[in-house]
Amino acid sequence: MAWFILILAGILEIGWAIGLKYTDGFTRLTPTVLTVGSMILSIGLLGIAVRSLPLGTAYAIWTGIGTIGTVVLGIILFAEPLTAVRLGCIGLIIAGIAGLKLAA
């Protein structure tokens, strides 16, 4: 169950990271409320997950999910560049997450 909670926390991290773009510097009410809500839920779920998961592993996976998801959605939603270097870096993040999971 802790792994499911951690994955959900990571997905919510993607939500708040993407939401930051839509808040327009926290000047738009609805995106700001949704973004801050996602932040609170994401961190709260991370806190629940680390009750039974190693902190370093859980944090790395949480940030990894957030980073990869944010990069992918940045490419899709905001026409950010899709380059071999960026894909390679995503691959390195995935390899690091897998290594931490296997070592846990």
Question: What are the 10-residue block averages of pLDDT along the chain, 104 residues in total?
Answer: 97 97 96 98 98 92 94 95 94 89 77
Q: Output the pLDDT for position 39.
A: 98
Predicted local confidence at residue 104, as pLDDT: 65
Rounded Cα gap, residues 39 and 95, in angstroms = 26
pLDDT at 16: 96
**Domain definitions of the chain by residue range:** 1-103
User: Please, are residues 11 and 4 in contact by the beta-carbon 8 Å criterion?
Assistant: no
Dist CA 48 CA 5 (whole Å) = 8
Global pTM exceeds 0.85:
yes
